[in-house]
């Protein structure tokens, strides 16, 4: 609900941008009715937002009862944001429009994320993107967001990287370096939470639901949405189901395996290597008929782990649904979703409800998109959007 009091321009502008984003093209009369702003106030603000380039008029709609109406929609060119994903096998930098469409995407692939190489490439690619913007686009750039695993330096042994190649991340303050380069405030978020935020914003914004988001990439991760808001917890790692234990600790026995050891694409990479394929040619492995049986073996194992994680999470969270997406080919994710559904049917759900399994649609773009959404939220969202998100700019902790 809007405010007709003086001094509320900023809030009411955010409100109208948010309403148009959520509901799609609306007439001024519809905007007035939804926001409960007076028709005069709504018209003044809409006209101002059109003049500022954030909204635009569409063609008049005729043929209905009453006067023809002119729908008002977001102008995709009204604002831009840059999203960066630093991952264990690749780094992406994307330029995103006000309507959350990816305008361009640049990717650096590698076996291991050497910090010097990644930071140098990011700075050069950022400057390349900026140089390619028109003066009008440059004025509409809002800022940068970064999505990355927490404590990237700690993953060296897990991804079989040579000793010392990733330790330099301890001393990298990526957000600070990009702020110094760009002049923009730079926000950070865990990469799996970023994928969850992207799904929430683009696929689930109208439902105000609670769900778990499982993102299967080099390592499996998770995000948690409660009543329509991303919850990241005290340290930014809420929903980190990759760390979920798959067994009971007992005496002097080895520690139980974690979900990350079963449902991560890294395990599939290992299977590819063991069968004569190269990780650098992983796409060829995924599309090779000779790989079908190997992939199905991994899917069955991963689905067992995901199903157990979902059962345990549901007993605590009572979610509306579970989303499974990932940074691997869509056909593999489709089969993984189906296998997880089948495995869930083997569990005793007495006392709780089986959540619906929903396949995510954002794929490998999800994490960088989530990062790019952060500056848009800061400028246009009515609410914080992310509950308890870690505010530190020193994301790669020392």
CA separation for the pair 378, 79 (Å, rounded): 12
C-alpha 163: how far from chain center: 30
Task: Report the pLDDT value the prediction gives residue 249, as an integer from 0 to 100.
Answer: 86
Q: Average pLDDT, stretch 225-243?
A: 89
Task: Report the pLDDT value the prediction gives residue 393, as an integer from 0 to 100.
Answer: 34
- Give the DSSP H/E element, type plus range, for residue 233: none
Domains of the chain as residue ranges with CATH: 9-74 (1.10.10.10), 79-191 (3.30.420.40), 196-366 (3.30.420.40)
Tell whether the model's pLDDT for residue 296 goes beyond 80: yes
Task: Report the pLDDT value the prediction gives residue 125, as an integer from 0 to 100.
Answer: 98
Q: Average pLDDT, stretch 69-94?
A: 95
Task: Report the pLDDT value the prediction gives residue 175, as an integer from 0 to 100.
Answer: 94
Q: For 181-218, what is each residue's pLDDT tens digit? A: 999 989 999 999 999 999 999 987 667 789 999 999 99
Task: Report the pLDDT value the prediction gives residue 302, as an integer from 0 to 100.
Answer: 97
The pTM score is 0.89
Tell whether the model's pLDDT for residue 141 goes beyond 60: yes
Output the six-digit token pair for 196.
Answer: 């969850």
**Residue 325, strand partner residues:** 215
CB of 368 within 8 A of CB of 144? no
- Give the DSSP H/E element, type plus range, for residue 343: helix 330-344
CB of 216 within 8 A of CB of 339? no
**Burial level of 64, CB count in 10 A (0-12/13-18/19+)?**
exposed
Q: Average pLDDT, stretch 361-377?
A: 95
DSSP labels, 265-289: HHHHHHHHHHTT--GGGHHHHHH-G
Tell whether the model's pLDDT for residue 121 goes beyond 80: yes
Residue that the structure tokens 């990469």 belong to: 191
Tell whether the model's pLDDT for residue 286 goes beyond 60: yes
Tell whether the model's pLDDT for residue 236 goes beyond 50: yes
Helix (H, G, I), strand (E, B) or coil at 60: coil
CA separation for the pair 234, 71 (Å, rounded): 42
Task: Report the pLDDT value the prediction gives residue 294, as an integer from 0 to 100.
Answer: 93
2-6, 208-212, 308-312: which has the minimum mean pLDDT? 2-6
CA separation for the pair 371, 190 (Å, rounded): 9
For 341, half-sphere exposure in the C-beta direction (CA atoms, 13 angstrom radius) is: 13
Helix (H, G, I), strand (E, B) or coil at 245: strand
| DSSP secondary structure letter of residue 304 | H
Q: For 152-166, what is each residue's pLDDT tens digit? A: 888 777 777 888 888
CA separation for the pair 195, 305 (Å, rounded): 20
Q: Average pLDDT, stretch 125-140?
A: 96
Rounded to 10°, the helix 330-344/292-317 angle is 50
CB of 76 within 8 A of CB of 17? no
The whole-chain average pLDDT of the chain stands at 88
């Amino acid at each position: 609900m809007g405010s007709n009091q003086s001094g509320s321009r900023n809030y009411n502008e955010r409100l109208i941008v948010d309403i148009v984003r959520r509901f799609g093209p609306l007439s001024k009369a519809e905007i007035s009715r939804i926001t409960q702003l007076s028709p005069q106030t709504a018209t003044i603000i809409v006209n101002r937002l059109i003049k500022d380039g954030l909204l635009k008029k569409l063609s008049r709609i005729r043929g209905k009862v009453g006067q023809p109406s002119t729908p008002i929609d977001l102008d995709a060119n009204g604002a831009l944001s840059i999203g960066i994903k630093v991952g264990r096998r690749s780094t992406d930098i994307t330029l995103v429009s006000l309507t959350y469409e990816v305008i361009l995407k640049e990717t650096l692939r590698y076996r291991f994320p050497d910090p010097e190489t990644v930071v140098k490439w990011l700075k050069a690619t950022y400057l390349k993107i900026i140089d390619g913007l028109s003066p009008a686009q440059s004025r509409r750039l809002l800022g940068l967001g970064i999505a990355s695993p927490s404590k990237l330096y700690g993953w060296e042994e897990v991804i079989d990287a040579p000793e010392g190649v990733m330790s330099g991340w301890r001393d990298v303050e990526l957000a600070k370096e990009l702020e110094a380069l760009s002049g923009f405030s730079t926000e950070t978020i865990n990469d799996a939470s970023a994928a969850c935020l992207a799904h929430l914003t683009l696929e689930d914004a109208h439902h105000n639901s609670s769900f778990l988001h499982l993102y299967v990439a080099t390592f499996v991760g998770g995000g948690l949405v409660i009543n329509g808001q991303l919850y990241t917890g005290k340290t930014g790692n809420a929903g980190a189901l990759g760390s979920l234990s798959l067994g009971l600790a007992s005496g002097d026995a080895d520690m139980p395996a974690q979900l990350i050891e079963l449902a991560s694409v890294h395990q599939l990479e290992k299977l590819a290597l063991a069968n004569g394929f190269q990780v650098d040619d992983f796409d060829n492995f995924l599309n090779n008929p000779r790989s079908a049986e190997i992939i199905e073996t991994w899917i069955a194992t991963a689905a067992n782990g995901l199903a157990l994680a979902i059962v345990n999470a549901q007993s605590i969270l009572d979610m509306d649904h579970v989303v499974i997406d990932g940074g691997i080919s869509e056909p593999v994710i489709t089969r993984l979703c189906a296998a997880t559904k089948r495995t869930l049917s083997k569990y005793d759900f007495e006392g709780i409800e089986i959540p619906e399994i929903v396949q995510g649609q954002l794929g490998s773009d999800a994490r960088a998109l989530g990062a790019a959404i952060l500056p848009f939220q800061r400028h246009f969202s009515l609410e914080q959007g992310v509950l308890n998100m870690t505010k530190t700019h020193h994301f790669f902790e020392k």
